[in-house]
Structure 1
Amino acid sequence: MSPVEDPTPGLFADNLDLLVDSINEEGQFSEQGAAASTVMLALAQRKRIEVSHWCATEPGITQQPVERPVFLTGLPRSGTTYFQYLFDREPSLRMMRTWEGDSPCPPPAADPASAAQRQAHCAEQHRQRRERDGGASDSFHLSDPDGPQECVMIMDQTFGNAGHLWTFRVPGYFDRVLDTVDLAACYAHHKRVLQTLQWQAPTPRWALKWPCHLLALDPILQVYPDAAMVVTHRDPVAVLASNCSYSTFLRGMFSDRVDRAEVGQQMKDLVGRHIRALVDFDANRADGVTIAHVDYSQVVADPEAAMVDVYRSLDLELTPEVRQSIAQWRAENPPGKRGVHTYDLSDYGLDAREVAEEFAFYTERFDLAGKVGA
């Protein structure tokens, strides 16, 4: 897409300042990491400007409804991605594709030729990444160029992404996102991106996946009052160990100084904030808000049974065709196909028993106490 003028200069500038200040003060980036992060932030800003441009020049975009979206969320590393791929078998739901997150503009239906080019470009980037890292990234996070992708690629445009703490050493920014950033404004832009992607196409029912949605359930309902939530649950000891391993891998791309004990403490804070946000919301949510709770161990052992319960909550019909599609996808993607992600909490200066005790209020509330290590 050709360069365009920003119709909303200054939008999310304060959020960007918070992130850049934290990177400069806390990031401990290598020279290569600093250059890579600069490119990442510039690309996110470009996407935001392009979406703003389309919404300004085609005012009908923001007049479209986004009705009854489904937010797929849960503790980070609790099976949300796996569940997302199962949900992608459902033809009545629309998920953002990876290539759309990489390059949302022009709206795909408005310019099919451009959409095809962007899809091919994304596929080539994925091929090159897998060639560079030998597929190591896939063992941490399942991602395909035309596969369903999480909303982090939208939230990056707002610079209100608490998940940057996985990739960057920015604990100050993480705290500010949760305590001072206007997340409702970020989700208002999130809606504009969805409206841009669906422009001139049949109006879908969106399914939107990201663990950090847990940190913003009330702001989400301000923007999407008829939203439904699907929340995955897993033993927090296993969740925390997986987060520590994943963050260590990601931060190693940007810094030569990754302190595992520090990662352990920061990931414990991140997981704890997700847990407390969920428990508080679940205890105080208004009547009429739909939340379907999903056990990670059931999703892995018997995903069809888990899907039956969730479909019932969402007023969807789990048809024989969808059941067959789920079974086929599982057969084609057995555990370990793209590598095995191994981790141990003790590598990060944390004690599993102490972590289990700290988060017992969560495991007891959602009946996970007997599933430690799951």
Structure 2
Amino acid sequence: MLEPMAQRYVRPDWVRRCNAMAGAAGGAAAVVPLRADDLLAAAATSLGLDATDTSAFTLAGVDGDWEDRFRRLVAAVDDSPLHVVGRLMTSEELLRGLRTRALLARNLAEHPEVRDEPIEAPIVVTGPARSGTTILFELLALDPGVRSPIAADVLHPVPPPGVGRAEVLAMTECEQELWADVQPEFAAIHELRSDLPVECITLSLPSFAGNHWSMVLGGLGDWVPDVGADLALHRLVLQTVQHGHEPATWILKTPGYLLMLDDLLAAYPDARIIQTHRDPAKTMPSTVSTTAMVQWLRTDEVDLDGLAALIGAVFTDALATVARRRADGTIPGIFGDVRFADLMADPVAAIGGAYAQIGRPLTDAHADAIRAYVRDKPRGKHGTHRYTAAEWGFDADAARAQLADYLSAFAVPLEP
């Protein structure tokens, strides 16, 4: 049995006290109730809408029966063992998701041409978590010829009436910073800022259909993701942000796309996919560590043994399947590849190689921007995420043996 999170991390005093005070009030659910009708009414009222009419949140022809998903999700969240701070964080996300839906619907009614915005040949980064996807995403976003989903833009694709850019940035920064405030060690795992690009699971949160919820909350009863609905809302957010500007080549990223490439390519048939590669003896345990930390931000009950078993099985199958299908040509799409070791050693060369594979030139301006970014953001700037495979439930040799064909196919070097 793996060492529990409570023995690995010490909660900040303010988090511990907020969570402990629930005992005097009947528990976390009494302090922060989560009820679908109350959330719907609160979101509507905050925008001056009829609190009894849920049609204001409907995006006709976009993502299907959102309300059923929302109600199932809220019921599952309410049954989850979240602590006070976890319930507050989740309540805010649910309310923001509802408000975003209403604002998107209003904007779409005023500007139906938004649905005609072309989202063509996006460049999509995917690969195992901790294989360099985040730094690659940030470096690709420096390309003068692309656009990336900056947090402030996509968390608030239609700002509320009367809210200016400075306030949007402040609202976004606060939400981004909170994760590391709840557990400071999170900053060494993943940096969140209002001016950095965010993953697609964050962008499409208002669909109430994506993997954001299962990642941060774990098992959620009879709520299940709906990839098609999630990607439909994803497209609308990109179209909304792009509207009024020249069409862009979007840079997108989510490790989870590795598990759903067919769905991704059904939504974006002309996508250019850049797959990252790293020794699974590093990525598997680090994925467990990262996912466990994200859940620990909201609950005291993190099932590490279950997470390790699930992540090991899911990513082993995904990596092996993608390697086989890319080799036999049964998966469509144009792929580029970036090995973690190459990205760390020479990011310009690594990105140039991947760009050549997908038919995109690496400009001098982009190369210069990459060098400057790496110089100003050295590895470990926010601390180092150190771990061993065994600490998070893996045997390094076994993980590599299960993926021997994958390692050979992409010439992935093993790490100490």
TM-score, structure 1 as length reference: 0.86
Paired residue for 1:203?
247
Paired residue for 1:8?
59
Paired residue for 2:35?
none
Q: Which of 37, 43, 46 in structure 1 is aligned with 2:96? A: 43
Q: Secondary structure of 1:225's partner?
A: coil
Shift of 1:132: 5.7
Q: How does 1:135-174 map to 2 (within 5 A)?
A: 136-170=185-219
Shift of 1:353: 2.1
Paired residue for 2:127?
74
Paired residue for 1:308?
352
Shift of 1:214: 1.9
Asked if residue 91 in structure 1 is aligned to residue 133 in structure 2, the reply is: no
TM-score, structure 2 as length reference: 0.78
Q: Provide, for residues 121-155 of structure 1, a one-character-per-residue CA deviation record: whole Å limited to 9, x for no partner.
A: 32344456655644x32211133211222111123
Are residues 32 and 325 of structure 1, via their aligned partners in 2, closer, same or farther at CA, if it must alter by over 3 Å?
closer
Quick one: distance in 1 between partners of 2:391 and 2:369? 39
Q: Secondary structure of 2:260's partner?
A: helix
Quick one: distance in 1 between partners of 2:220 and 2:65? 23
Are residues 173 and 300 of structure 1, via their aligned partners in 2, closer, same or farther at CA, if it must alter by over 3 Å?
farther
Paired residue for 2:231?
187
Q: Secondary structure of 1:72's partner?
A: strand
Q: Which has the larger radius of gyration?
A: 2
Q: Provide, for residues 5-52 of structure 1, a one-character-per-residue CA deviation record: whole Å limited to 9, x for no partner.
A: 224386333444554455456x43234423432332232233233223
Are residues 7 and 158 of structure 1, via their aligned partners in 2, closer, same or farther at CA, if it must alter by over 3 Å?
closer
Are residues 104 and 284 of structure 1, via their aligned partners in 2, closer, same or farther at CA, if it must alter by over 3 Å?
farther
Q: Which of 59, 63, 72 in structure 1 is aligned with 2:116? A: 63
Asked if residue 101 in structure 1 is aligned to residue 154 in structure 2, the reply is: yes
Greater CA drift, 252-261 or 88-97: 252-261
Are residues 126 and 275 of structure 1, via their aligned partners in 2, closer, same or farther at CA, if it must alter by over 3 Å?
same
Greater CA drift, 149-158 or 122-131: 122-131
Are residues 172 and 352 of structure 1, via their aligned partners in 2, closer, same or farther at CA, if it must alter by over 3 Å?
farther
Q: Provide, for residues 312-363 of structure 1, a one-character-per-residue CA deviation record: whole Å limited to 9, x for no partner.
A: 2333322222211111111101111111111222123332222222233322
Quick one: distance in 2 between partners of 1:293 and 1:342? 25
Quick one: distance in 1 between partners of 2:285 and 2:180? 24
Asked if residue 372 in structure 1 is aligned to residue 410 in structure 2, the reply is: no
How many residues align? The count is 362
Asked if residue 256 in structure 1 is aligned to residue 306 in structure 2, the reply is: no
Greater CA drift, 241-250 or 79-88: 241-250
Q: Which of 337, 353, 363 in structure 1 is aligned with 2:381? A: 337
Q: Secondary structure of 1:232's partner?
A: strand
Shift of 1:192: 0.8
Greater CA drift, 14-23 or 359-368: 14-23
Shift of 1:212: 1.3
Paired residue for 2:37?
none
Greater CA drift, 16-25 or 325-334: 16-25
Are residues 361 and 133 of structure 1, via their aligned partners in 2, closer, same or farther at CA, if it must alter by over 3 Å?
same
Whether the aligned pair in 1 keeps the contact of 2:209 and 2:229 (CA below 8 Å) is no
Are residues 113 and 30 of structure 1, via their aligned partners in 2, closer, same or farther at CA, if it must alter by over 3 Å?
closer
Unaligned segments of structure 1, at least 5 residues: none
Q: Secondary structure of 2:291's partner?
A: helix
Report percent identity of matched pairs: 25
Whether the aligned pair in 2 keeps the contact of 1:263 and 1:348 (CA below 8 Å) is no
RMSD: 2.9
Q: How does 1:321-336 map to 2 (within 5 A)?
A: 321-336=365-380
Greater CA drift, 43-52 or 244-253: 43-52
Unaligned segments of structure 2, at least 5 residues: 1-45, 50-55
Are residues 353 and 186 of structure 1, via their aligned partners in 2, closer, same or farther at CA, if it must alter by over 3 Å?
same
Q: Secondary structure of 2:251's partner?
A: strand
Q: Secondary structure of 2:381's partner?
A: coil
Quick one: distance in 2 between partners of 1:18 and 1:273? 29
Are residues 94 and 213 of structure 1, via their aligned partners in 2, closer, same or farther at CA, if it must alter by over 3 Å?
same
Quick one: distance in 1 between partners of 2:147 and 2:187? 23
Q: Provide, for residues 220-270 of structure 1, a one-character-per-residue CA deviation record: whole Å limited to 9, x for no partner.
A: 222222211111111112111111111221111111122332232232234
Greater CA drift, 51-60 or 303-312: 51-60
Quick one: distance in 1 between partners of 2:246 and 2:275? 27
Are residues 145 and 216 of structure 1, via their aligned partners in 2, closer, same or farther at CA, if it must alter by over 3 Å?
same
Shift of 1:70: 1.0
Paired residue for 1:122?
172
Shift of 1:302: 1.1
